[in-house]
Amino acid sequence: MEKIVVLVGLPASGKSTVAEALGKKMDIPVVETSPFVFESVEERGLPVTPENIKMVTTELKSRSDYYYTQKAFEFCQKEYVDKKVVFFAGMRAISEIKFLKEQLGRENVIVIGFHASQTTRFKRMSNPDRAGGSGDKAVEDKKLLNFDYFLAREEKELGFGAGSIFAMSDYVIKNDDLRYPYNTMKRNLIDFENILRLFLDNDQ
């Protein structure tokens, strides 16, 4: 792994959907920190709820602000050693970006922000692509169909610095489309691919 593209944005902003589509085309893996978060909660015998996620995350981040990012990075070093670039999603704090840049060099890490309105993001929670999921993420997605739960999750994300890290994006992709399947997807994939190819071409 030589380079990392960090994808930032609030839940259902479309970052993972767009990255998975482009990743499939260009053979680039998408690694999220959420599985490591859920795992740390379950290791304590606790249900995965916003309250427990916040409690455990706060505890572990008190040891290291980039605890989960380091876990994901170490995972990629083992699993994707032969890949030139990996997509990272789930970063919340500026210190996490600094950690990645310290590991690979500033020129080998970029941040791409995905923006969508709260109305759009909440509506996406009921889309078929989320309803058919499995595992802890699917359980969490079902809970997010409740607007109060959705807002609690948003507050948690913002509390961990999601807004600050978004403000530091090198590029921003507007992904605000209420209709499913999204009419913006084709355009966003083109924009995303152009950004990615420019990033990859920098060392040639």
Can you spell out the DSSP letters for 121-168?
HHHHTTSHHHHT--HHHHHHHHHTTSHHHHHHHHHHHHHTTHHHHHHT
Task: Please provide residue 133's backbone torsions phi and psi, each rounded to the nearest 5 degrees.
Answer: -75, 180
Task: Give the separation between CA 51 and CA 104, rounded to whole angstroms.
Answer: 34
pLDDT in tens, 138-147: 677 778 888 8
- pTM (predicted TM-score): 0.79
The pLDDT of residue 157: 76
So where are the chain's domains? 3-201
According to the model, what pLDDT value does residue 204 have? 46
* CATH number corresponding to 3-201: 3.40.50.300
Give the contacts of 20 (CB within 8 A, at least 6 positions apart).
30
Which pLDDT does position 41 carry in this prediction? 94
**Residues recorded for the chain:** 204
Enter the tokens of residue 72: 């994901």
Residue-level pLDDT at 174 = 86
Counting as low any pLDDT under 50, the low residues of the chain are 204
What pLDDT does 132 receive? 57
